[in-house]
A = this chain, B = another copy of it.
Amino acid sequence: MQTRAQNLSRLLAPRSIAVVGASAAADKAGHQALLSLERFDGEVFAINPRASEILGRPAFPSLSALGRSVDLVVFAIPAQACPDAIREAIECGCGGGLILGGGFAESGPAGVALQERVAEALAQSTFRLLGPNTAGFVNKPARVTASFVAGADRIADGQVAVVAQSAGVCLTVSFLLGQLGSGVSLAAGLGNGLDVDAADLLEFLAAQPATRAIALHLEGVPAGRRLFETLRRITPKKPVAVLTVGQQDVGEFARSHTGNLIGSYALRVSALRQAGAVVVESTAELAAAASVLSANRLAPRLAPGIGILTAQAGPGLLILERLKSRGVSVPTLGAGTIERIARCLPPMTYIQNPVDTARPSESFPEVLAALAADERIDALAIFALSEPAALRPDQVLPAARAACGKPLLFGTLGPPPEVEPAVHALRSQGIHVAGSPEELAHAASVLALDAGLQARLVRESSQPAPALAAPAHERRDEHAAKALLESLGIPAPRRVACRSHDEAHAAFRDLEKPVVVKVLAADVLHKTELGGVHLGVADSAALQRALEQIDAIPLPSARGYLIEEMAPPGLELIVGAVRDAGFGPSVMLGLGGTFAEALKETVVRLAPLSSGAALEMLDELPAAAIFDGFRGSPPLDRNAVAEALVALGALLCGDPTLTEIEINPLRVHPGGVLALDAVIV
């Protein structure tokens, strides 16, 4: 029996195909599927109980009657008939199948049950299934178009693989790639993704020589951690751009579409970026990102420098602004570069970055060469409206790229009869051409972001991934939680857990006054609201009052008292670690306090993570400047916050019995952090 990986290859690059439900009726999916296999040069069999030949292909009443296995079975039959048909295909030793069309988990409870029956049919076998509820796939090097969608067979050949949850998005991105002068190596819709998912496709594509970049569209991601691990292995070798939905509340429609839950958008995007994928915002951006990455890639580098050369200042300003808004470095040029360019341009032109040539002129190639030679510049974004009398980009740019060896991206506009031949000539020489200043900026930012993400991936891979084990923790109260945190190196205030008033008074005498007096009991919620937290207790009379108020709280179990020193002033944060159902251990950082809760802005990352990655989380907070000190106070201890995040993540990775830890608040001050309250689940 072949392995699941081998059968996935049989499915996606078959040498023999059977269409179950092949039909001579032009309006049937089984007709369209057979038609779309016209260019396939392997064996094709029609399966139909009432024909001996369809569209020139030999027909058989059933897969069993065919008397041999095929690599790929296309199921173009009603949803109800699929489970039995799959069992038959498995018995025949076929490699994989593809269920065209829906009627499964996306369509309500009956469909969910039917999809479960398909899953049962698959269980215990290595047979692979794409879909259900997909329009199929195109594999250009294998000359396979297994789809019932008209037009799929006319997608241009190219070096970008498109993997989409949705067939409609798969086709949209494929056609957009065509408009950019790129094309596809493979295009596949995952549909409900019952068996074959995005990670499977990525594994296949990593080994497909024709694919040089991957465009990925995701709605929900049930097996998030696996996708993360797969991406992390693949993106250093092949660049991946991702478009994913769910920033807005669109869950109901999304579920009706592929039967999947959307999950947390923020966690998904963080995980994708941590795995080295460039996350984009639209289908056009996805196509452009994959297209530019298929022909250009920078070496891993945290902040590569983009040089902007523009023949018109206004568009140059738009390019600069867009790059800055995406955090891309547009470095100041070296003195030598500026001198060399100044010799080429009229005295009043702006020679910084951007370099503005004030319309193209004869000196354009020399200015370009000077900018490209600057060691601060890793890639160039060049914009010029069409002025063929002054600049022939199809002659100048390829020569310049050959001379400098750096990626060189171009943007232009003009009267179509004049511009189109130049654009075509440039693209045929592998130069990316954008159709507006902002599209050029997008392409340049994709190069820079990809290099930055890869540099972070190298950093994370080079650091040991700590996995801390928690000490035994039968008790679940605040004191035990804080003791656990202390064992991880996260300090908490000096404190004493007391079982009686006498113990409390004794503890009070030893601690620095004033103190906080808190109720101590397993799993007590809303301590403050119940009168279980007393701040600023400065003398023993106040202590006694606090203890009596705590005694008055109705509690099902025994209570104790936590006598704790007050913390120095500082900023309150929420830090936590959660085991996500799909993506596994993750850490979270947010601002504490009422405003911050109303802001609901938190930053998430998958664990384990390095201190460097944790420090970057701080910088992503909406009010990150606050760590530099506010109203004259010294800077807060960023490193201590980062170390707390690293430790929480490591704990969740090391101790599978824990599902959640939250420190709320974690107070950060100039000299470190203190966990003021904590809950462990």
Residues of chain A touching chain B, judged by Cβ–Cβ distance below 8 Å, are 102-103, 106-108, 111, 149-151, 154-155, 164-172, 175-176, 178-179, 217, 219, 245-250, 252-254, 256-258, 281-284, 310-318, 320-322, 324-325, 348, 350, 352, 354, 356, 358, 385-389, 413-416, 418, 435-439, 529, 571, 591, 593-601, 622-626, 630-632
Contact = CB atoms under 8 A, between A and B. Distances in A.
A386 B315 contact: no
A317 B258 CA distance: 11
B386 A168 contact: no
A274 B500 CA distance: 65
A630 B385 CA distance: 54
28 contacts: A151-B386, A151-B415, A164-B314, A165-B314, A166-B312, A166-B314, A166-B315, A168-B311, A168-B312, A169-B315, A169-B318, A175-B414, A176-B413, A179-B416, A248-B321, A249-B324, A253-B313, A253-B320, A253-B352, A254-B317, A256-B350, A257-B350, A282-B322, A283-B315, A284-B436, A284-B438, A594-B631, A595-B596
Nearest to A385: B171
A314 B151 contact: no
Contacts of A248: 320-321, 324-325
Contacts of A436: 172, 176, 282-284
Nearest to A439: B284
Nearest to A265: B321
A591 B598 CA distance: 12
Given A284-B439, A350-B256, A436-B172, A385 B321 contact: no
B175 A413 contact: yes
Contact of A348 (B103, B245, B314, B626): B103
Given A352-B252, A595-B591, A623-B599, A245 B282 contact: no
A167 B106 contact: no
Contacts of A348: 102-103, 106-108, 111
A578 to B, nearest CB: 23
A175 B435 CA distance: 10
Contacts of A601: 622
A166 B415 CA distance: 19
A387 B217 contact: no
A571 B219 CA distance: 39
Given A151-B385, A249-B324, 9 more contacts: A111-B348, A166-B312, A175-B415, A179-B416, A245-B317, A245-B318, A248-B320, A258-B313, A593-B595
Contact of A321 (B168, B175, B250): B250
Contacts of A438: 281-284
Given A436-B284, A599-B622, A625-B598, A257 B315 contact: no
A129 B208 CA distance: 62
A597 B633 CA distance: 14
Contacts of A321: 245-248, 250
A354 B168 CA distance: 15
Contact of A350 (B103, B149, B253): B253
B256 A387 contact: no
A266 to B, nearest CB: 14
A304 B257 CA distance: 26
Nearest to A108: B348
